[in-house]
Amino acid sequence: MNTNSSKSIRRTLFIILLLAFALRLAGVWFGYPWLRHYDEVGEIIPCAFHLLDFHQSQGVAKITHNGPLLKYFMAAVLGIWGLIGSIFTSLNSIVENWKTTTSAYILGRILLGTLPGTAMVWIIYLIGKRLNGIIAGLSAAFITAVAFKLVEFSHYATSDITAAFFVTCILFFTLRHYHNGKIWDIRLAGIFWAAAAAAKLSTAPALIIPFAGILLKYRFKNFEWFKDLLNLAFFAIASLLIFHLPYIAKPLEFIRLVLNTLLVQTFFFEKGFFWYFHPHIFPANDAPAAGIGWILLAVSLLGLIISLFTKNHKKWIVLVFPLIFYLILGKSQVKHTRYLLPMLPFLCLWGGIAFAWLDKIIAKFLPKNIRYIIIGIILILAAFPNIKHSIVFALQASNGNTLLELSDALPEILDEKSTWAKLGSTPTKPGIPGQYLQIGLMGSAKEKLSRAALRDLKSKIPNVNDWVESHPEIVDTKTLSWTELSPDSLFSTLNIDYIIIDEYQYRTLKETPDNRIRHLDEFEKARKVLKYIEENGRIAAEFKPRCHQTWGEGFAGRQPAIWVYRFNTQDQ
């Protein structure tokens, strides 16, 4: 390869990495000023201060699905920001600043989302280049850089992107070992597996990647495979123990965590092989995840057959690993496309390989420069929907008018004494729709309904106080359910002035077919409440948020409207 060609490749790769970094960096303000996203601060910050207290993370259950590395990362972010604060301002003000969700939290998003997300693009380039050459590497890197889900979740200070990055590193070192046989590559694959599992428990099945890589490399022809497996096991288990060392103060918990990661999460699954690809296990808005499962199954089986029965198996091996990895994912991890993030780099890599094959086909008819221009145009056109969504998301995120800003936007309609309610639907269990009615005061609209907010509400509205005391079984820290009340008694008892409905929830209740609902009786109650609102209320305000994301609901390909219904008829 001549010098000019090498410079051109490096320049192209730099532009792709810069694009990836810019998209992810522009979006770290997503949802601002609502930085108290329930997947982030509400779970991560308490755990950053309770590294040894696995079971008592301030009432947060979901943090148990994230491994200890997430807590270390967030504690490190706190430490870095504290150091910055001690240099430039008083430490106390920095801590208070953190609690009110400002700059320190943005730092967490950059360190845990933007940087590993960009590094993943570079790793995918190296893998594609090793397997099928420069065109495959650059094409795969470009697809990874603009893939919407990878851009979107690089805005979260959670373990999703970091875990996906670690899984990509596992694949990289497994393939290096597959090609050159160096023992340290398989050791590093084991270390990165432990990091992935300790960052997000659901990635534990990724151990099958180096395991299958070793077996397919040697095909049981000699005992080298056994030595490599021992190296893999030793470094994987040793690293896993090190990452869980803070739990050593609780020996039983320490043993349970390690064994659960090694055995239950890695090698066992609950409902059998094809259950994971059945479309009915997915909520309506995440049915495409089932399609991704079928694609992974078909392509991986094809790659397995080719790699076993052809001499040129080294180029096909990359198609094999996602098969077993995806098949043994836990059932709770396929309910949302978010949990497929560790698999998306594989799809991006396959896309890059496909473009490399296309380049070889047209190489017979066109000169190199013309060929590269055509490949580039086709690649951009093919990736255009993702490019558009990623750019729009990143640009609009920093200025998004989310529902939680309505308290500032509606001073002439809603005052601090007004009672408001948000009608919604949320899974009570994986794949089982449930409903809730979130009650609060618009004066504290930027907070979830906590116990303190509930007490505040009870003190200001005696009717609610009486109702809460008489229905303790259906009140929790976040919601007031209508499971025991008819619509008219619900609203008359709570004395609600306004109710807020967004288009996402409205369409969910209106358009979800009955055969997609497991608890139809619960859904029917929600529909009755919605009908009651439409018949007895009037629209006091209507909004079109600029941000695609509303109240933490996923990107739905549209900008959902928000309707504020005036409900208390005595003031009309």
* 3-state secondary structure string across 436-502: EEEEEEHHHCCCCCCHHHHHHHHHHCHHHHHHHHHCHHHECCCCECCCCCCHHHHHHHHCCCEEEEE
3-state SS assignment for residue 353 = helix
The reported pLDDT for the residue numbered 124 is 92
Inform me whether the pLDDT recorded for 535 exceeds 50: yes
The reported pLDDT for the residue numbered 23 is 82
Inform me whether the pLDDT recorded for 140 exceeds 50: yes
Lowest mean pLDDT among 321-330, 347-356, 467-476, 480-489: 467-476
The reported pLDDT for the residue numbered 335 is 47
Structure tokens at 209: 């990647």
Strand residues in 116-267 grouped as ranges (E): none
Which of the pair, 155 or 289, is modelled with greater confidence?
155
Give Cα 204 distance to the centre of its chain.
16
Q: What distance, in Å, lies between the first and last C-alpha atoms of the chain?
A: 78
Inform me whether the pLDDT recorded for 522 exceeds 90: no
Query: What b/e sequence results for 6-43 when a residue is b if at least 16 CB atoms lie within 10 Å of its CB, and e otherwise?
Result: eeebeebbeebbebbbebbbbbbbbbbebbbbebbbbb
Closest CA to 140 of 127, 151, 149, 150: 127
Strand residues in 217-304 grouped as ranges (E): none
User: Highest mean pLDDT range out of 3-17, 399-413, 436-450?
Assistant: 3-17
The reported pLDDT for the residue numbered 188 is 93
Packing angle, helices 344-362 and 288-309, rounded to 10: 60
Instruction: Please name the amino acid found at residue 200.
Output: K
Q: pLDDT, tens digit, for every residue of 114-134? A: 899 899 999 999 988 887 788
Average of pLDDT values for 215-236?
81
Inform me whether the pLDDT recorded for 327 exceeds 60: no
Average of pLDDT values for 544-564?
46
CA-based radius of gyration for the chain: 26
The reported pLDDT for the residue numbered 34 is 36
Lowest mean pLDDT among 29-33, 251-255, 430-434, 516-520: 430-434
Q: What letter does residue 331 receive in the DSSP assignment?
A: G
Q: How many CB atoms lie within 10 A of CB 75?
A: 18
Closest CA to 418 of 348, 303, 500, 478: 500
421: Cβ contacts below 8 Å, ≥ 6 apart:
437, 438, 439, 494, 496, 498, 499, 500
At 150, the pLDDT band (50, 70, 90 cuts) reads confident
Cα–Cα distance measured from residue 517 to residue 318, given in angstroms and rounded to the nearest whole number: 38
Average of pLDDT values for 419-436?
45
Q: How many CB atoms lie within 10 A of CB 258?
A: 17
Percentage of residues of the chain with pLDDT beyond 90: 4
At 368, the pLDDT band (50, 70, 90 cuts) reads confident
Which of the pair, 171 or 62, is modelled with greater confidence?
171
Average of pLDDT values for 464-480?
43
The reported pLDDT for the residue numbered 122 is 95
Q: pLDDT, tens digit, for every residue of 32-63? A: 433 334 334 434 444 444 333 333 333 333 34
The reported pLDDT for the residue numbered 296 is 59
Inform me whether the pLDDT recorded for 413 exceeds 60: no
Whole-number average pLDDT of the chain: 64
Q: What letter does residue 555 receive in the DSSP assignment?
A: P
Inform me whether the pLDDT recorded for 455 exceeds 90: no
Q: What letter does residue 333 receive in the DSSP assignment?
A: G
The reported pLDDT for the residue numbered 430 is 32
